[in-house]
Each structure stands twice: as structure tokens, then as C-alpha cells.
Amino acid sequence: MTERTNTPAEFPSTVVTLQSNYDFDATVSRLKAALAAHGVTLFAEIDQSAAAADAGMPLRPTRLFLFGNPKAGTPVMEANPHAALELPLRAVVWEDSEKTVWVDYQDVTTTLERDYKVDEKLIAPLRKMPALLRDALA
């Protein structure tokens, strides 16, 4: 692994980083179960560490999830078609060098409101996602 693995990483202010109380596989399972239990569609699950291995490169356990609820996202995209660049929602589960598992969630609500000028009422359902993720990891 690279030196950067053991140093704090930079990330945008819109990223919510949550520490999991579980190992990598359990965190992935709990995240998927929490999404399903709340009627959230898992559109894609990308095993980035497997893709790296296929390219002959090492990468800590890392899995990207694309998810959402069309009932929440469709009105946002109807209000501003460009907002589709921010949807579906994204989260990545990754494990650090000490075997601590993290979930990073890209919270797009501020971006949708500030940059895409989407009305707060349309964004409100998306603001619930960090709490759902926290509950899944507790």
C-alpha cells in the first residue's frame, strides 16, 4: 500500500464520513439491508478492489454503491435535468490499514440547492439519508 493509506485524506465538505462498528463484509450487508428496508433501490454495486486486482494493482477493500428512490429523485431531475449528474446517490465502503471500516456518503443536497437551484421541498427527502446510514452502522 502507498504512504497515503496511513495519512488523513482530503475530501470535499459534502462528504459525510461514518465509522462502522462492523467488519467490511458485515458493513456491506447492513448497508444493503438498510437501503432495502427503507425502499431505496440499489442500482449498482461496484467492487473497486476487485477491479483493481483485475488490473494487477492492490487496493484496500473498497465497494461503491449507487442507490436512490425514484420517488425522491425524479422530482429533482424534473425541476432541473442537469441535476441527474448528481443522482443516483453514492456511498463507498472502505477499510483502512488498521481494519477500521468507513462509509463515505456524497451528500448532494447542498449542491442541488445551491448550484442547481432545486427547491428545498424537493430536496428534503434526500436529507434523511445520512441518518439512515448512521443507523445501519451503529
Work out the widest C-alpha separation in the chain, in whole angstroms.
46
- Residue 67's Cβ-count burial label (10 Å; 0-12, 13-18, 19+) is buried
Q: What is the pLDDT along the chain (138 residues), one digit of tens a residue?
A: 333 344 556 778 889 999 999 999 999 999 999 999 999 999 999 999 999 999 999 999 999 999 999 999 999 999 999 999 999 999 999 999 999 999 999 999 999 999 999 999 999 999 999 999 999 998
* Long-range contacts of the stretch 113-120 (C-beta < 8 A, 24+): 116/80, 116/82, 116/83, 116/86, 117/80, 118/76, 118/79, 118/80, 118/83, 119/79
| Residue 123 cell numbers, joined | 430536496
> Can you give the pLDDT at residue 8?
56
Distance between CA 73 and CA 90 in Å, rounded?
A: 13
Confidence (pTM): 0.89
Q: How far, in Å, CA of 122 to CA of 104, rounded?
A: 23
CATH of domain 13-137: 3.30.310.70
Structural domain boundaries in the chain = 13-137
Tell me how far apart the alpha carbons of residues 26 and 103 are, in angstroms, rounded to a whole number. 12
- Confidence at residue 12, expressed as pLDDT on a 0 to 100 scale: 84
Helix 24-37 and helix 129-137, axial crossing angle in degrees, nearest 10: 130
